[in-house]
Amino acid sequence: SDSIPKYFVERYHGEAALGIFAAITYILVAENTVIRALGQSGAPRMAKLCSENCIRDFMKLLGKVIIIGVIIGGTGIFITLLAGTTILRWAYDSSYTEYSYDLFLVAVASTIFHVASFLSISLTAIRYLRIQPVLLGLSTVVMFIACLELVPRHGIKGAAFSLIVTASVQVFTQSLALLHAIRRISRNWDSSLQI
């Protein structure tokens, strides 16, 4: 699904716009690498807490990693607001500086994706696996529709907004799935205690 915005940008605005969009999104790759490592390091602990039905501790740990992710992402947002133009000039050249707002939008999307990433890892940790392909399919459809609506009219900004929309849908649907999974686990645990 990551390639969908790139496809639409190239299709409607050409290879030059695609290159700019790819360059803007590439700046945040390092941040995403840190987030992925953080989530993977917390996954075994989450799985252990879930198996022991320590749901409160599970949610506390999830809350902590989400807060860390939001802080990291929020720092990126702040930096793009404060020095986005300078960063683009330094990383590429002065022709990219007019896309500082697009960089800000991508930073916002990235921060929301951080939360979605941790929620996805938590669903895997508690072995709630069947729903994940469904959620992935839904987010792919949402991204396609968002790009179809936004990219032809708004170009790179539209692609960035489509990332925000998709990330927000992921967080919402994964949160619902996680709540459902936790309720199911708690019910099963209570039933086993009664037996």
Q: Which residues contact 157 (CB under 8 A, 6 or more apart)?
A: 101, 102, 105, 150
Angle in degrees, 0-180, between the axes of helices 100-125 and 29-51, rounded to the nearest 10: 20
- Please list the pLDDT of the chain residue by residue as tens digits (195 residues): 679 999 999 999 999 999 999 999 987 777 788 888 888 888 899 888 888 878 889 999 999 999 999 999 999 999 999 999 999 999 898 989 999 999 999 999 999 999 999 999 999 988 888 999 999 999 999 999 999 999 999 999 999 999 999 999 999 999 999 999 888 877 765 544 444
Q: 62: how many CB neighbours lie within 10 A of its CB?
A: 20
Query: What DSSP character marks residue 195?
Result: -
Q: How far apart are CA 96 and CA 144, in angstroms?
A: 26
Q: How far apart are CA 34 and CA 25, in angstroms?
A: 15
Query: Does the reported pTM lie above 0.85?
Result: yes
